[in-house]
Amino acid sequence: MAAILCENCSGQYRYTQVNQPLEINCVLLLIMFGKVFLDFFTLQVKQKNVKVSFMGYFCVSLALLDFTLLMSISFIFHFEDFALWGVRFTKYHICLFTQIISLTYGVLHYPVYLLAGLDYYMTIAQTSQFPKRGQRLLYVFAVVVIWISGLFFILKVPAVYEELEIQNRFSPYQCPLYASVQSYSVSCAMVLLIGMALLACRKDVLTMLLSVRVASFASQPVLMFSYVSNNNGTCFKWQLLTRLLICFLGTWAPFVLLQFIVLFLGARIPAYMEMNVPWLYFINSFLIAVAYWSRCHDVELTDEMWSTDPFVSWKFCFMPFNNENTEPADKPGAVIVIC
């Protein structure tokens, strides 16, 4: 059955099946409950005063869709066999709905990351933005279009439809779920790029890490790095890359390590679990860092410029900070960067 799906699909839309018995619907419910809790917990703990963005709206829509899926399969699991609006629902629909969601999630990684990257690249250096209402409507429209497009793509691909029909007829006791090749390739690319950046900046990263110390700023503990400023444009980009890496890994190092372990073990995570809000905000920070580095000379040092990322503060990667409200520096007159 996997061969039917792969023969008629392009390479980027192939999937790896993860067979699960239908009897473990209760486990599926627990997994979805945990995922929904994690989604809404992440949305709750993130910084609230951030600029609107496509990725922010997409994360909210993903959390709502996960919640809708959880409520639907919970309702079916409780009543087991019932009819609604002339349609009969059984426990098999728990598997069917999860399959459709997994397939839809699996084909949205590339378009979502591409749109989010373009959004940040075009808006990261803007001081004047679209009117708030118009910008929000634009993002809402883009999110709705991308969800509808993904769902219609999955339901209209003949091979996917045939696969679901075959599973419905001949595999009533198994529920094959799918791991997206798109997500796997994105993970490989991110680990490779981060590894190459660390290798290229290994000396600067090591020097900055050795100079780190804890200081007090605005009544909060911060990490302070000493460095000598350089006005050369090329050196500035390399120093900026070092600081971006430290800021990014300072927040998301556990996710990078988890990616490396998953790739090393060759584990395949079902797509309905793989796309979640924490993962999207991890990708979001990576895209913001790329946008900052590629347009570093266009970035203006304004307060509004730094309210882009809900989890990582990039402000001090750009702005040399005089130590007026901090402890004295190790070397008098040294410029301080706080990440």
Does residue 326 lie in a domain region? Answer: no
Does residue 117 lie in a domain region? Answer: yes
Does residue 147 lie in a domain region? Answer: yes
For residue 26, the enclosing domain spans 21-317
Across residues 213-233, what is the average pLDDT? 58
Amino acid at 250: G
pLDDT of residue 15 exceeding 60, the answer is no
Does residue 38 lie in a domain region? Answer: yes
The burial of 50, by beta-carbon neighbours within 10 Å (0-12 exposed, 13-18 middle, 19 or more buried), is given as middle
Does residue 322 lie in a domain region? Answer: no
pLDDT for 1 equals 34
Does residue 1 lie in a domain region? Answer: no
Is residue 132 very low, low, confident or very high in pLDDT (cuts 50, 70, 90)?
Answer: confident
When comparing pLDDT for 161 and 65, which is higher?
65
**Number of domains the chain contains:** 1
Does residue 223 lie in a domain region? Answer: yes
Does residue 257 lie in a domain region? Answer: yes
- Window from 146-160, 179-193, 293-307 with minimum mean pLDDT: 293-307
Q: Which pTM value belongs to this model? A: 0.79
pLDDT of residue 146 exceeding 90, the answer is yes
Region of 63 (left: φ > 0; alpha: ψ -120 to 50; beta: rest) is alpha
- Window from 133-137, 216-220, 244-248, 262-266 with minimum mean pLDDT: 216-220
- Window from 24-28, 109-113, 127-131 with minimum mean pLDDT: 127-131
Q: How is residue 331 written in tokens?
A: 């070397």
Q: What is the pLDDT of residues 294-314, one digit of tens each?
A: 887 776 666 556 677 888 877
